[in-house]
Structure formats: structure tokens, C-alpha cells
Chains A and B, each alone.
Chain A
Amino acid sequence: GAGVSQTPSNKVTEKGKYVELRCDPISGHTALYWYRQSLGQGPEFLIYFQGTGAADDSGLPNDRFFAVRPEGSVSTLKIQRTERGDSAVYLCASSLTGGYTDTQYFGPGTRLTVL
């Protein structure tokens, strides 16, 4: 079946602009995660959805970051007033139930560049 997909693959924006990044998880997966990966580092957790609700948003760096998953499938990560420090690859992952033994499957990522 289809894996996790993310759009766009690349996004270049100017400082201060608003951006939306989209994630389409594997069909039937109830758990969805967003991570951010800076150059030379491992991914860092941003937010976790179980169904439609954000079960844990403790990784969001500040209130400029927000994510939704209104129908329990597709999720959108929204960044307001972008800053150069937001430049990174944003990875989305999904898993079947969200349990600690569950494997998370990742999408190809969106590379965000803030000029």
C-alpha cells in the first residue's frame, strides 16, 4: 500500500511569512507524529496526534507552530511569522495505534528554507 506522503517536498519562504506543510499518513494509522530535523542531527519530536486530537504537543517550540488533524487522517503543520531558525526538514510519521512497540513509518519530509 501507499506510504506516508508529504507535500510540498521543498518550500522556500521569506522571513515573516506563513507556511503550511501537509502530511498524508498510511491509511488506517491512528497515530501521527511531526518531527523536525536540523542538518546533522536526529529528528526531534514536535507533536503527536491520536485520531483527531493532539495527544501531546510538548515538542512545539513556541506558539508560532500549530498543527491540526481535523478528520483523523491528513494533518497540516502551520508555522506563522517564520524565522530563519525554522529552516529544517519537517518529517511526518504514522503508526497503527501509537503504542510503544508500534513502528513509526516516515514520509519523505518537507525541506523548509526561510530566507
Chain B
Amino acid sequence: AQKITQTQPGMFVQEKEAVTLDCTYDTSDQSYGLFWYKQPSSGEMIFLIYQGSYDEQNATEGRYSLNFQKARKSANLVISASQLGDSAMYFCAMRETDNQAGTALIFGKGTTLSVSS
């Protein structure tokens, strides 16, 4: 079973609108971290936002917020007031504490976001 599932291969949004990128995860750990990264066409992975499994409040960073629903094992990224520069691939990732790959990140397959004017 996939550890991180991103079901939307592509999303389209108009400038200034909000968009939600879906992410569900699968873990039996109690302690884990969830991350979102942005990868523009240049290729660099840019960290956006982090949510810890014990955090009671949803994480926010500027225009980014993470809609964390622990019981549903979902960690959706919400981008408010989309900008043309938000067009990129977005990856959801998880790090577990009891993972054969140590503390490595496990990534989903990504969602391509296209913002139009």
C-alpha cells in the first residue's frame, strides 16, 4: 500500500482563487511529521509547510495552510489567493519515527498546479 497518496495528477485554478491539494497518508506510528514541498520547473524542492502528528492546530505559513484531519489521515494543502508563480508540482511527504528508511521522507507522486490569469 502506498504510504502517501496524492489523487490529483493536475489541478487548475485562476489567479486570486484558493485551491486545495489533497494528500492522504498511511502509518501505524503515533509520532510522525507531514511536509509539503513545491517543485517549480527549475527542479529545486522548496519547503512550504510542516505539521507534526501531535500538533492540535493546523499549520499556517503565509498563504499556505495545512488542513490536518488526523482521524482521516489526511493532510491537505490549501493555497489562498493563488498567484501565477504558484504554478509548479507539489509534493506531500511524511517522515515516520519507526521507518526502515530511518528518518527519510516518503513522498507522494505529486500534483501539478497550473494557475491562469
* Residues of chain A whose beta carbon lies under 8 Å from any beta carbon of chain B: 31, 33, 35, 40-45, 48, 55-56, 58-59, 89, 91, 93, 98-109, 111
A103: chain B residues at CB < 8 Å are 35, 47, 50
Contacts known (A48-B101, A56-B101); A104 close to B47, Cβ less than 8 A: yes
* Residues of chain B whose beta carbon lies under 8 Å from any beta carbon of chain A: 4, 31-33, 35, 37, 42-47, 50, 52, 91, 93, 95-97, 100-110
A42: contacting residue among B42, B101, B102, B108, CB under 8 A: B108
Q: How far is the CA of A59 from the CA of B100 in the complex (A)?
A: 9
Contact A31 B103 (CB under 8 A): yes
For A97, give the chain B residue with the smallest CB separation: B103
Contact B104 A106 (CB under 8 A): no
Can you list 15 A-B pairs, Cβ within 8 angstroms, ordered by A?
A: A35-B104, A35-B105, A40-B109, A42-B108, A43-B91, A45-B105, A48-B102, A48-B103, A58-B101, A59-B104, A100-B97, A101-B33, A103-B35, A105-B47, A111-B43
CB distance from A32 to the nearest CB of B (A): 11
CB distance from A60 to the nearest CB of B (A): 11
Contact A99 B103 (CB under 8 A): yes
Contacts known (A41-B109, A42-B93, A104-B47); A98 close to B103, Cβ less than 8 A: yes
B50: chain A residues at CB < 8 Å are 101, 103
Contacts known (A43-B107, A100-B32); A59 close to B91, Cβ less than 8 A: no
For A103, give the chain B residue with the smallest CB separation: B47
Contact A33 B110 (CB under 8 A): no
